Chains A and B, each alone.
Chain A
Amino acid sequence: MKKSIPTLFKEGILTNNPVFVQLLGMCPTLATTTSVMNALGMGAAVIVVLAFSNLFISLLRKIIPGEVRIASYIVIISGFVTAVELIIKAYFPAIDAALGLFIPLIVVNCIILARAEAFASKNGPLPSFIDGIATGIGFTLALVCIAAVRELLGTGMLFAASDGTGGVPVFGDWFSPATIFLLPSGAFLTLGFLIACVQKIRNTAEERAQNKAIEMDAIDGGYHATLMRDPESGKIIRRTSYRAPEPVTDGEAPDAELLEDPEIPAAPAENDAKGAE
């Protein structure tokens, strides 16, 4: 199951975004998004760690025994985290002061372990490296989105340095900053609303795909249409529930050709289950 490079980037950044879709790595997402610059610093650190730990885990995937693989991954990851931590301490002391312990805590970030387990342990070094970069960019973009909302509403400025100086004022003097967005409750609130927006977009896209499949079935005369057709007006009813339409069997064997119709979308994943990581 080889994936091309554009597919890897598309999955890492959009369709499988680690924060907005997979809901992983909530601790740094909430804690380091008080300003866009902090978010960029955190994102850059995660990109480096994710890319290199993916690369090395992929190179060692045939040597590491299955029983101790998680422990081995953690050692590899923490090696890179320590390297990144020392580099940031040496060259970017302001970012180090702002992010505090969240740089060493990248070790226990679920995103990195999840990519190691789900991708790097099954794929070659180059795809794993690219997957690390793509997922890291997806994480960074999500962080920057959240941080932009919080910084803009919380201070009225954007792109302030990590020590709080040199921001670009966006609003005029009339804007009185809502400090709550810089506080922990503002972090939860912003993330909640942004994930709701993402779910809305995904729901709309899924609904559209389902309606398309239903119309095609109706043209085929398949029995999916009977589920959807209004008995009085004969029009196709818009289906709005979460679940994908199930074929009605009525004791007979279902029509195999219809079930294999590629136009029928797979059942959308249950959103609630993903927070359990």
Chain B
Amino acid sequence: MSNIFMIMFAAILTENFIFSRFYGCCPFLGVSDKPSTALGMGMAVTFVMTLSSAATWAVYNYLLVPFGLEYLKTIAFILLIATLVQFIEMFLRKFIPALYGALGIYLPLITTNCAVLGAALVNIEEGYSFIESVVFGFSAALGFTLAIVVFAGVRERLNFADPPKAFRGFPILLISASLAAMAFSGFSGMKF
């Protein structure tokens, strides 16, 4: 039980996916312009990442390992994630239209989000059990959501700032991200 708590704590704060491991920086810099959009993206990622952690763990341990095909894990995982995202999209559209309305537009972007594939690969690398993998996927996604929602708030304020012309747009965004990352590195002293 304490192990599970440690995995959660590390995944959300000390080894935050964006500010410490750099997984999922593209949606972080692209989508996080409004807190509501960022929250939608974060929820969609949480949904997909929890399910994909479970699915990739099962495929790796019950399909790839018995046949000695561990080296195919990258291909297998990316295909599995692409299929899963497509399937989730169809399922939500048919059965939970309200949730589809909220998350639908973010789902196609998630296939090429390196956070999802990254979480699946970290689970294998660390040798997590099934429960630990699902917890890791879920809490890493929570950490991702926390980062993009917090940063979307910062970004809204940036719209009113007047930086020098060369810094407008992307550079000032990266420098603000640098300050946010500094705040998250404060947690790294709390490693167990």
Listed in ascending order, the chain A residues whose CB lies under 8 Å from chain B are 23-27, 30-31, 70-71, 74-75, 78-79, 81-82, 85-86, 101, 104-105, 107-110, 113, 180, 183-189, 191-193, 195-197, 199-200, 203, 271-272, 274-277
Contacts and interface: CB of A to CB of B under 8 A. Distances in A.
Main secondary structure of the interface of A (DSSP, over half): helix
A31 B169 CA distance: 21
B178 A105 contact: no
B60 to A, nearest CB: 13
Given A26-B26, A78-B78, A81-B74, A105 B114 contact: yes
B75 A75 contact: yes
Contact of A193 (B117, B121, B171): B171
B112 A110 contact: yes
Contact of A195 (B75, B114, B174): B174
Contacts of A75: 75, 79
Interface string B178-192: 110110110000000
Interface in B10-38: 19-26, 29-31
Contacts, number: 139
A271 B175 contact: no
A215 B177 CA distance: 42
A27 B121 contact: no
Nearest to B83: A71
Contacts of A27: 22-26, 114
A4 to B, nearest CB: 31
Interface stretch (B98-106, B129-137, B160-168): B160-168
A65 B139 CA distance: 38
A185 B183 CA distance: 9
B171 A195 contact: yes
B26 A101 contact: no
A184 B183 CA distance: 11
Contact of A185 (B21, B114, B171, B182): B182
A230 to B, nearest CB: 22
Nearest to A201: B166
Given A24-B26, A78-B75, 18 more contacts: A23-B29, A74-B79, A82-B74, A85-B74, A101-B125, A105-B23, A105-B117, A107-B78, A108-B117, A187-B178, A188-B178, A189-B178, A192-B177, A196-B167, A199-B166, A199-B171, A271-B168, A275-B170
Nearest to A105: B114
A277 B78 contact: no
Contact of B175 (A74, A79, A183, A189): A189
B67 interface: no
Interface in B131-170: 165-170
Contact of A74 (B73, B78, B185): B78
A193 to B, nearest CB: 7
